[in-house]
Chain A
Amino acid sequence: MELAWCILWIPFLIAGTIFFCLLSRPRLAGWLSTGGMFTCFILVVSLLFQIQKNAAVNGWVLESSIRWIILSDVTIEFGLLVNRLSLLMLLIVTGVSSLIFLYSTSYMKDEPGYARYFASLSLFAFSMLGIVLANNLIQIFIFWELVGVSSYLLISFWFEKDSAATAGKKAFLTTRAGDVGMLIGILFLFGMLSRQGLGTFNFLLLQTNLPQAAIPAGVMTALGILLFLGVAGKSAQMPLHVWLPDAMEGPTPVSALIHAATMVAAGVFLLARLQFFFVMSPDAMHVIAWTGGITAFLAGSIAIVQNDIKKILAYSTLSQLGYMVMALGLDNSGAGMFHLTTHAFFKALLFLGAGSLIHAMHTQDIWVMSERKNIFSRMPVTSLTFLAATMALMGIPFTSGFFSKEEILMAAHGGPAPLFWLAMITVFFTAFYMGRLTTALFLKPRPVGEDHHPVHESGWIVLIPLVILAIFSLGGGYLPLREFLGVHEALAESGSFVKWLALGCSLSGFLLAFLIYSVGFAKEFTASSLFRIPKLVLERKYFFDDFYDWLIRDVQENIAKGLDWFERIVIVEWCVNGTARLTRGVGDILRKLQTGAVQFYALVFTIGVTALLYTLILVRHP
């Protein structure tokens, strides 16, 4: 187990070292972080082999923990839980991170904040590993928040830019809203359990304690939804999805790592970790599945009208996350985790490739890129790997994405029919927007003439991660993931119908996009007024941002103003100052007794004595 502890703490130590010593030696910081990450990956692989060797004895579960906070009725521990699920995540996180760290050393090399960048990245790696390895709910929450902090630091990396700083705040606050629900859910769950003396936060203990506790169904549903709120925040499900597109303000490797492959997958990971809990509440599962499906559909539709390459990929991520959440809502964690893995490969590849393109052409707008000549011939590696990832995303047969998407669609087929059709239409959307992107980059006819600003390929440090990820994107479907996860769900026999329908949707989507954007097919139709309203809705992202703006600007501001009035006027002016004024007023009145005339005092004295005499009389002779 010592390996696991090392894997967790190495990135933290690296982050600390960079922050305290190496801010002035950026190149060293960069290589140290990358080396550290690769070391972690190797440690994970050796951990895998170590566990495999002892599998017969210990099974695939290892736990090691320290009792951290010990109170009279509750103990909070700090520990690591390694089972197959965490091993899979560890491999993905450390593997993809290592490649992205390597990519960053070249991509970010002219940045003034280079060392700070790597310190934040290492901190992020530490936080993410903490989520994966945590063995109890409190610890996972702590690292959950830490991941949010790292994400904030990295999104607002160019903090001098207003839009970047705002995007960082937006991300943090939106996920925070979900996290509040999650915390309430965790504590509420503990409370319900500890009523019967079964209170615990530990995952393994929860598995045994929950069935015994016999919590009523309504409460279970509420708990499920509360915990799902945290997932919705971190994995950007509707309505808490608004931060992810804005998070593209951060550097492209950050988008690749955090907002495609790992952090946003943390929510899906939590759902899988707590599968045993969520299945106990069918209603919560319905909510989860429908949220996932709707997110996938709506995000896919918004991606169709985006012109910024990173924004297209961001909405695509939202859409694919919706698929994963939907799969887990349909009690098929195998399909969900499979898609998480393949998505990590091809989405990271798409972002890194986009980074390479952006670096070469100094623009993020796909229509500006569509004016540049000879992209494919002058940047072959970038272009080919980009296309490989596109095919995987669309689910072209034999790519990794094909297998994982098929699993999810088949799971959806077993669920409510509307959900299945939403998923299927989203396949069409996915193909359409990727087709639009591909057409703009490679297939649109360029104007004839000289190439005045030739593009050139990126260096080998950038290209190596692209190639490796491309290999996994294409061949990853053949990894024995489902067996590894020990998940064996029977696949429905209507498999071939789903397969062919999905393929049809993908191809037709791509073809339609190609025709519209390269040849100008149906131009009058698309420019007609019929399209204006849907286009507006899509471009305004279904008015979610406008809604939140209104909510904060009008509702929350007015509530805040009201409370401010209450505090300023009622509490300070009336209560505090009022008491002071009252005291002074009473004092002013009482001061009139101090006349300075001795005879007045003597009079008062006499009155007192007389009263005393009468009291004495009345006592004796009532």
Chain B
Amino acid sequence: MIPTTYYLIVSGLLFVIGLCGILIRRNLILILLSIELMLNAANLNFIAGSALQGQLNGQVSAFFVMVIAAAEVTIGLAIAVLLFRKQGSADTDKVKWLKG
């Protein structure tokens, strides 16, 4: 058996990579993809936890996370479309309208 810790490390790694992706990439689509990455890392965490405990609760939680991720992507992409319409590109560096 592979120790649960290893699965968790992989999950952590994926999470950090997704986080870095959100923070450094300028294209909105790619930011959304990074968010997906982070969500999946969390899912892996849930499933690993479920295997650890011998309960199915983790898997069910992962299931629901997927559903919500789908809904979120829908709206996120709608916003991306709006942004593209407003300024002609998906560059977030130009989104400074709340600069105070």
Contacts and interface: CB of A to CB of B under 8 A. Distances in A.
Tell me, yes or no, whether A and B come into direct contact in the complex with CB atoms closer than 8 A: yes
Interface of A: 591, 594-599, 602-603, 606
- A interface majority secondary structure: helix
B53 to A, nearest CB: 23
Interface of B: 19, 22-24, 31, 92-93, 95-100
Contacts of B19: 606
Contacts of A603: 23
B47 to A, nearest CB: 23
A597 B100 contact: no
Nearest to A595: B99
Contacts of A596: 95-100
Given A602-B22, A603-B23, A606-B23, A594 B100 contact: yes
B92 A597 contact: yes
Contacts of B92: 597-599
B17 to A, nearest CB: 13
Contacts of B24: 599
Given A597-B96, A599-B31, 9 more contacts: A595-B96, A596-B98, A596-B100, A597-B93, A597-B95, A598-B92, A599-B24, A599-B92, A602-B23
Contacts of B96: 595-597
Contacts of A594: 98-100
A598 B96 CA distance: 9
A471 B22 CA distance: 116
A588 to B, nearest CB: 11
A321 B23 CA distance: 96
Q: Which 3 A-B pairs have the closest CB atoms?
A: A596-B99, A594-B100, A596-B98
B94 to A, nearest CB: 10
A599 B96 CA distance: 11
Given A602-B22, A602-B23, A606-B23, A591 B95 contact: no
Nearest to A609: B19
A597 B28 CA distance: 12
B100 A591 contact: yes
Nearest to B97: A596
A593 to B, nearest CB: 9
18 contacts: A591-B100, A594-B100, A595-B96, A595-B99, A596-B95, A596-B97, A596-B99, A597-B93, A597-B95, A598-B92, A598-B95, A599-B23, A599-B24, A599-B31, A599-B92, A602-B22, A603-B23, A606-B19
A609 B98 CA distance: 24
A597 B25 CA distance: 12
Nearest to B99: A596
A512 to B, nearest CB: 95
A616 to B, nearest CB: 15
Contacts of B22: 599, 602
Contacts of B97: 596
Contacts of B93: 597
Nearest to B92: A599
Contacts of A595: 96, 99
A289 to B, nearest CB: 81
A594 B100 CA distance: 5
B37 to A, nearest CB: 15
A484 to B, nearest CB: 91
A597 B97 CA distance: 8
A302 B99 CA distance: 83
Nearest to B31: A599
B78 to A, nearest CB: 17
Nearest to B22: A602
Contacts of A591: 100
A356 to B, nearest CB: 87
A602 B99 CA distance: 15
A602 B23 CA distance: 7
Nearest to A599: B23
Contacts of A598: 92, 95
B39 to A, nearest CB: 15
Nearest to A603: B23
Contacts of A599: 22-24, 31, 92
A596 B95 CA distance: 7
A606 B92 CA distance: 19
Contacts of A606: 19, 23
A594 B97 CA distance: 11
B25 to A, nearest CB: 9
A595 B96 CA distance: 7
Nearest to B93: A597
A598 B95 CA distance: 9
A483 B23 CA distance: 110
A595 to B, nearest CB: 6
